[in-house]
Amino acid sequence: MASYVRTKMNPKGFHKQQIKYYIILFPIVLFMLLPIVYIFITAFKPIDELFLFPPKFWVKNPTLSNFRKLFEAGTGEIPVSRYVFNSILVTGVVLFLSIVFSSMAGFALSKMKFAGKKFWFEVNQVALMFVTASVAIPKYLVVEKLGLIDTIWAHIFTLLAMPVGLFLVKQFIDQIPDALIEAAYIDGANDFTIYWKIVLPIIKPALATVAILSFQTVWNGTETSSIYINKEELKTLAFYLNTLNASTGNTIAGQGMAAAASLIMFVPNIIIFIFFQSKIMNTVAHSGIK
């Protein structure tokens, strides 16, 4: 009887009783998809359709001219491909190092015993209180003292610290039974073996969340290019598109380029979120966030 009820409540395949849920969810999903669809459609609208009144949701004559104008509107001798390369390089390096540092620090704060462990975790908690603008001057002074102004490392080092990522990973590792770690020590495993073969496979959902947060921060950020970089060839795509929108966004021709730029910045974010969104739910469920 219990098996029958469980099958009826949560069938493996499609069941006619699920139709009522589809009827309720479909309008909601459609409504939530409209802004995303509009971003894609607007990027391919020609100028006459962008300023059409009354405005139309769908595009009649799609064109790639907005993208062509965007990539032709370079800054002096610097091609747009250079900004793209800088963004991909910085995002990839920061993404990798953020995952490594967050997972290692989270493992140490959660399962290892050392003096000052509680203090350093409280420091991380305090860091969550500060917004980026409030620490801009101290960060600039540190970067200047290290001689990183106008270098690619200024992009990377200033974005590595992610207090929220460390918090999520640490709270996730707390859910791993201490008995499992102790059993590994008894079998002769060292700290790195336990971290690599036991902890990392278990905390994949938390690492996926850190990856998404890190990617969005770096890919969409313009602060490092604005504050630490004066050389145009070292600036990122987000900064270039932001300045391009500021200079041409209020013109008629600039509206098309602004729409294309918005799509370019949006697509990587939605792709990475689609792939890892289920991992985010698992992380929130296991990290103590209510």
Report phi then psi at 75, rounded to 5.
-100, 100
Q: Is the pLDDT of residue 198 over 60?
A: yes
Q: Is the pLDDT of residue 63 over 90?
A: no
Instruction: Please tell me the distance from the alpha carbon of residue 92 to that of residue 212, in angstroms, as a whole number.
Output: 12
- Residues 255-285 pLDDT 10s: 788 888 888 888 888 888 887 776 665 555 5
Mean pLDDT, residues 217-232 taken together = 89
Q: Both tokens of residue 206?
A: 């938390």
Q: Is the pLDDT of residue 166 over 70?
A: yes
Instruction: Please tell me the distance from the alpha carbon of residue 13 to that of residue 9, in angstroms, as a whole number.
Output: 12
* Alpha-carbon distance values, 19 to 8, 26, 157 (Å): 14, 10, 51
- Residues 168-183 pLDDT 10s: 899 889 989 999 999 9
- Residues 28-54 pLDDT 10s: 888 888 888 988 988 888 888 887 778
Q: Both tokens of residue 173?
A: 């590792």
How many residues make up the chain in this entry?
Answer: 290
pLDDT at 248: 59
Q: Is the pLDDT of residue 106 over 70?
A: yes
Ordered alpha helix ranges (H), 146-203: 152-157, 163-173, 178-186, 191-194, 200-202
Binned at pLDDT 50, 70 and 90, residue 93 comes out as: very high
Q: Is the pLDDT of residue 108 over 90?
A: yes
Instruction: Please tell me the distance from the alpha carbon of residue 80 to that of residue 78, in angstroms, as a whole number.
Output: 7
pLDDT at 1: 44
pLDDT at 76: 60
In percent, the amount of the chain with pLDDT more than 70 equals: 86
pLDDT at 173: 92
Three-state SS at 78: strand
- Residues 227-256 pLDDT 10s: 999 988 899 988 888 887 666 555 666 778
pLDDT at 245: 65
* Alpha-carbon distance values, 190 to 49, 114, 183 (Å): 64, 16, 11
Q: Is the pLDDT of residue 290 over 50?
A: no
